Amino acid sequence: MPDTAIAPFPWGDVWGQPDAVETLRTAASDPSALSHAWLITGPPGSGRSTLAYAFAAALIAEGPEDEATMRQVLARTHPDVTALRTDKVIITIAEARALVERSYFSPSSGRYRVIVVEDADRMVERTSNVLLKALEEPPEQTVWILCAPSEADLLPTIRSRVRSLRLREPDVDDVARLIALRTGVDAAVAEQAARHAQRHIGMAQRLATDEPARRRRDETLRAVLGVRGVGDAVEVAGRIIQAATDDAKALTAERDAAERANLLRMVGVGDGQAVPPALRSQLSALEDEQKKRATRSLRDGIDRVLTDLQSLFRDVVMLQFGRGDQLINRELQPELAALAQAWPDTRTLVVLDHLADTRQSLERNVAPLLALESLLVTVASGRTP
């Protein structure tokens, strides 16, 4: 069980990572323990970004008593912290170059200038190469903090220039206790959400507090269990894509509208007024960025579905090998047990392999609907199309 003692500010929001907190607290207070570049890795929901900004706050502040500066860093408003968190599919070369340029500025008021890259795994090779020189020869008062799921998500040339810090993965019971404490939901709901989210804290919190999300997840898994032929595969794939699309729109629509309204207000265009031709290029650029963000949001939604399906067929394999005590989807145990009896374990493994292949196909920009149809045909037939 993670250490439940509350760490001093600004580390209090970093949950379940006492060893990592101790390492970074020491580095922030002792220059001899400080590396110029860090890579914080851990599974989704483990708190990589929360830890990165707490570290940035401790680095920039003059000391533990300088809470005003630390709160400014945590609010992402301090001039000496530069952060990049992309809502798009990849981090662009232009964004990387802007970070590198910023990294050579001297701190304006803090002890260090800190560059945080939350989604370092979204850099393609050409973009990663832009960072290499800055990581090799950074100014004395600049510290880079990269975040990624694993070291393998970055190029070896990047990994060789950073100090890696691996976060632990919390237990289901630990996540459930945290979610119950944060949200006030019933302990049983918190446990189910933590289990279904596979210990992803952010997703567990959403499932615990969003009954429609819990219902959609259950309906999706039951629909996939009911696939019996190509017709079912096509129909269920279409329903999954539509649900993911609707979810993505709901998450981005309000933000998109606010960004558009802010842009028009900044250039003096009132409500209902036509956009002057000279300003249409700015509006078009904004809409292009919003489309890229919507694409990322849709892919993230589909990836969550694939994660849920992976848990489903993982449970089937566990039952086939006599390990029914560690099921993720306990609520579906009768259906899963029937499937485990009806299928050979080799067929279940074929489905799990195709799930991994589907993820790779989506990263290569294969049409999501076609990728899911192919996957569900494999579910129905036991053979990869």
Mean confidence (pLDDT) of the chain: 87
Which has more confidence, 12 or 80?
80
pLDDT tens per residue, range 242-292: 888 887 777 677 677 777 777 777 777 777 777 777 777 877 877 777 777
- 346/292: higher pLDDT: 346
DSSP bridge pairs for 74: none
Q: What percent of the chain has pLDDT over 70?
A: 95
What pLDDT sits at residue 335?
A: 95
Share of the chain above pLDDT 90, in %: 54
- Tens digit of each residue's pLDDT (9 = 90 or more) over 196-244: 998 888 889 889 999 988 999 999 999 999 999 999 999 999 999 988 8
Residue identified by tokens 């580390």 is: 11
- Residue 332: CB atoms within 10 Å: 18
**Does the global pTM surpass 0.85?**
no
User: What pLDDT is attached to residue 3?
Assistant: 47
Exposed/middle/buried for residue 5 (C-beta within 10 Å: 0-12, 13-18, 19+): exposed
Q: What is the pLDDT of residue 2?
A: 46
Would you place residue 87 in the very low, low, confident or very high pLDDT band (cuts 50, 70, 90)? low
What average pLDDT does range 291-314 have in this prediction?
A: 86
Instruction: Determine the pLDDT at residue 114.
Output: 96
| pLDDT band at residue 4 using 50, 70 and 90 as cut-offs | very low
Distance CA 14, CA 16 (A): 7
Average pLDDT over residues 9-15: 85
Q: CA 366 to CA 71: how far, in whole Å?
A: 43
**Taking residues 331-339, what's their average pLDDT?**
95
Alpha carbons 89 and 354: distance in angstroms, whole number: 22
Is residue 133's pLDDT more than 70?
yes
Q: Given this model, what pLDDT does residue 88 score?
A: 61
Q: What pLDDT is stored for residue 6 in this prediction?
A: 57
What is the pLDDT, as a whole number, of residue 126? Answer: 87
Over residues 16-49, the pLDDT tens digits come to 788 999 999 999 999 999 999 999 998 777 789 9
Check residue 78 and give its pLDDT.
94
pLDDT bucket at 384, cuts 50 / 70 / 90: low
Residue 195: predicted pLDDT: 95
